[in-house]
Amino acid sequence: VMLQDQADTILAPVREALHRLWGEGIVEFHSNRSARVRRLSRDDVLHASEVWEVHGGLMARLAAERIKIDDNAERVCAASAAMVDRRRRLDPASYFHALMKYQDVLAEIGGNPYVMAVKKRLHTEFWTPASVLYIPDAAWTEYLDSFVRVNTAILEGEPQEAESEYRRHVRFAR
């Protein structure tokens, strides 16, 4: 009985987390009582990117407003350079990791704790890699060029332009 109580104490948070992820559409349950990460359809990725367009634009605007504080410009430059380097090496897994880090840097320097909290709830690490799979090889140059425009607007401290460029970038990717 004591072992069962300990097991229930340990497993309760895991069950709660799985049910939360199920509610957010990340996990699916199966009849054999197993759970797995749900496979995303193209429509799932498109719907997520519509929400991301607004949130990413906000992150870019807030980052541009605070770019001249402390080492914010250096952090954005380092994060964007890592993305470009990973793409140049044609290493998709590390490119996605660098992209997520870039987004985290923008959210952090924006100074609004709710922006990072919402970013975590959007589970960008789940659908962003899937979204880039749908970008044709011929479109990668424009995709990366649009990131350069986003980065330039942020580093120049142009909040409206940064937001506009980020939203344009997401629409292009979509």
pLDDT tens digits, one per residue of 75-128: 999 999 998 888 888 777 788 889 889 999 999 999 999 999 888 887 777 777
* pTM of this structure: 0.79
pLDDT digits (tens, 9 = 90+) for 32-56: 777 777 777 778 778 888 999 999 9
Q: What is the dihedral of CA 87, 90, 91, 92, to 10 degrees?
A: 70
Phi, psi for residue 55 in degrees, rounded to 5:
-65, -45
Return the pLDDT at 24.
Answer: 67
Structure confidence at residue 1 (pLDDT): 54
Phi/psi for 30 (5° steps) reads -125, 160
> pLDDT tens for residues 146-159?
989 999 999 999 99
Q: How many CA atoms lie within 13 A of 149 on its CB side?
A: 18
